[in-house]
Amino acid sequence: MSNPLSEPGTATLDRHLAEAAERYGTPAYVYATDVITARLAHLRAHLGRWFSISFAVKSNPNPALLGWMRDQVDQLDVSSGGEFALGRQTGWQPGLISFTGPAKREAELRAAISGGVGELVLESLREARLADAIAAELGRVQPVMIRLAPARVPKGFGDQMAGRPSPFGIDVENAPTELPQIATLPNLRIIGLHIYSGTQSLKSEAICENWRIFMQVFSEICVSLDLRPEKLIFGSGLGIPYHPGESKLDLAAIAAGVGPDLDAFLADPRFADTRLVLELGRYLVGPAGWFLARVVSVKQSRGSRIAICDGGLNANLAASGNFGMVLRRNYVIHRVGGDEGGTRPDEPQDISGPLCTSIDKLGSRVLLPRLDEGDLIAIHGCGAYGPTASPLYFISHPLPAEVLLTGEQLCDATPDRGR
Ligand SMILES: Cc1ncc(COP(=O)(O)O)c(C=O)c1O
């Protein structure tokens, strides 16, 4: 997966980042499609024997990126009516789209069913009944999957969606009473099951163990419903390193650890025609994105040097540590242009954004070449949960530009976000 863009601070990367900032302004996100292509190849090389790939739009709904994704991944998972519309606008066939989400409204269900969505991923009996009624009205039989919430999630995930009280999916304890009721609804056809119970894990053993739990749940439920599923969705949980010192996830270790279990699982005649699908977002796009901010002002304050930038938590909530992080930790950050031939030795500096709140901090005592007014910083690992997971309108600063880098080609991919 070696790519000059994957390494912090290389000359090639900096050339592209500086040009993107120059052309499209800051703050900005740059997404490199070559990095996504390389990550997909790596993923398929290790896990493609068992899985096809579904991209979770919530991780990066940039329209230009979604359009580009059409030729890269097998299907798309959306989590709202808005994302379904976006998938359609960017040229995705509705049959290749699945629709998850714990609180689907009637209008969203109607738009998805009438729009020919591939699969609804049902998260409750209420949703199943509503979808059945809508499908009946439209004279259709809607393919559905059922999302299950396992009783246990191994340790080692950044966020856990099951194994405790959770709004997501049907708890496995309730499956024996609720699933048969869904199975009798005449306008729904159950084609498979779905689990997404933990995300952002860098521990290969935790992922293997979690997928073993999925297989056990899938087997038990398929036997109880006498279901020969067309698809089983494995919510991947594959994480990415965000902070200095974190190691990359070892996909070879995952393949070696859980491969025999997957082979044994698929050897069951019940699953002879079943397609396993990995649903994921950040693993593919996170490391392919950089957040760029320009230093507007520098303040020397009581022993600390603070570089105050034109974009902060308003444009990048995750990098400010306020998106699901318990203790704020710095992301990997570099100064575009480096240390200018050693003339700017590293020193600890704080990096903050333009907002009038002390939580608007992008870095604490980050070791970087001395930052001055006009300098550009790049934060790594920002290709997922960027603009759309940030409070973009807070304090009415300009919205971040979004730029697609394909090969040597930069293009403006800033969507109209309504201002
Ligand atoms: C149902 C579902 N699918 C996919 C994802 C994507 O997760 P990630 O971006 O960590 O791969 C999530 C994340 O929360 C999710 O809840």
At 256-275, the pLDDT tens digits run 999 999 999 999 999 999 99
List, for residues 98-108, the tens digit of each pLDDT value.
999 999 999 99
Residue 327 pLDDT:
81
C-alpha 271 to ligand 1 mean position (Å):
25
| Nearest ligand 1 atom to alpha carbon 194 | 1
Q: Is the pLDDT of residue 255 over 90?
A: yes
Helix (H) or strand (E) holding 37: helix 33-47
Q: Tell me what the mean pLDDT of segment 204-229 comes to.
A: 97
Q: Is the pLDDT of residue 325 over 80?
A: no
Q: Could you tell me the two tokens for 137?
A: 């009205």
Residue 419 pLDDT:
56
Same domain for 205 and 165, yes or no, is: yes
- Mean pLDDT, the chain, rounded, equals 95
| Nearest ligand 1 atom to alpha carbon 101 | 1
- Which DSSP symbol is given to 238? B
C-alpha 200 to ligand 1 mean position (Å):
9
Same domain for 209 and 340, yes or no, is: no
The percent of residues above 90 in pLDDT, for the chain, comes to 94
Q: In this structure, which residue's CA is closest to atom 8 in ligand 1?
A: 281
Domain final residue pick, 234, 255, 280: 280
Q: Could you tell me the two tokens for 146?
A: 């059922």
Q: Is the pLDDT of residue 2 over 60?
A: no
Q: Is the pLDDT of residue 252 over 80?
A: yes
Q: In this structure, which residue's CA is closest to atom 14 in ligand 1?
A: 199
Q: Any residues with Cβ below 6 Å from ligand 1, and which?
A: 56, 59, 77, 100, 161, 196, 199-200, 235-236, 279-283, 384
Looking at 208, 222, 309, 356, which residue is catalytic? 356
Which residue stretches of 138-279 are H helix? 175-183, 204-225, 251-267
The best mutation among 65, 145, 199, 382 to test binding of ligand 1, ranked by most ligand atoms within 8 Å of the C-beta, falls on 199
The best mutation among 251, 279, 285 to test binding of ligand 1, ranked by most ligand atoms within 8 Å of the C-beta, falls on 279
Instruction: Let me know if residue 58 belongs to a domain.
Output: no
pLDDT tier for residue 366 given thresholds of 50, 70 and 90:
very high
The best mutation among 159, 194, 280 to test binding of ligand 1, ranked by most ligand atoms within 8 Å of the C-beta, falls on 280
pLDDT tier for residue 249 given thresholds of 50, 70 and 90:
very high
User: The CATH number of the domain where 274 resides is what?
Assistant: 3.20.20.10
C-alpha 309 to ligand 1 mean position (Å):
30
Q: Tell me what the mean pLDDT of segment 376-399 comes to.
A: 96
Same domain for 129 and 107, yes or no, is: yes
Q: Is 266 helix (H, G, I), strand (E, B) or coil?
A: helix
Give the predicted TM-score (pTM) of the model.
0.96
C-alpha 100 to ligand 1 mean position (Å):
10
Residues spanned by the domain of 315: 287-412
Same domain for 117 and 137, yes or no, is: yes
Helix (H) or strand (E) holding 350: strand 346-352
Instruction: Let me know if residue 159 belongs to a domain.
Output: yes
Q: In this structure, which residue's CA is closest to atom 1 in ligand 1?
A: 196
Domain final residue pick, 257, 280, 303: 280
Residue 311 pLDDT:
97
| Nearest ligand 1 atom to alpha carbon 56 | 4
Domain final residue pick, 250, 280, 310: 280
Q: Tell me what the mean pLDDT of segment 366-394 comes to.
A: 97
48: closest CA among 72, 31, 70?
72
Q: Tell me what the mean pLDDT of segment 25-54 comes to.
A: 98
Number of domains in the chain: 2
Beta bridge partners of 414: none
Residue 197 pLDDT:
96
Residue 356 annotated among the catalytic residues of the structure: yes
CA–CA–CA angle 323, 327, 330 (5° rounding):
80
Q: Is the pLDDT of residue 328 over 90?
A: no
Instruction: Let me know if residue 175 belongs to a domain.
Output: yes
Q: Is the pLDDT of residue 30 over 90?
A: yes
Q: Is the pLDDT of residue 6 over 80?
A: no
Same domain for 393 and 269, yes or no, is: no
C-alpha 316 to ligand 1 mean position (Å):
18
User: The CATH number of the domain where 328 resides is what?
Assistant: 2.40.37.10
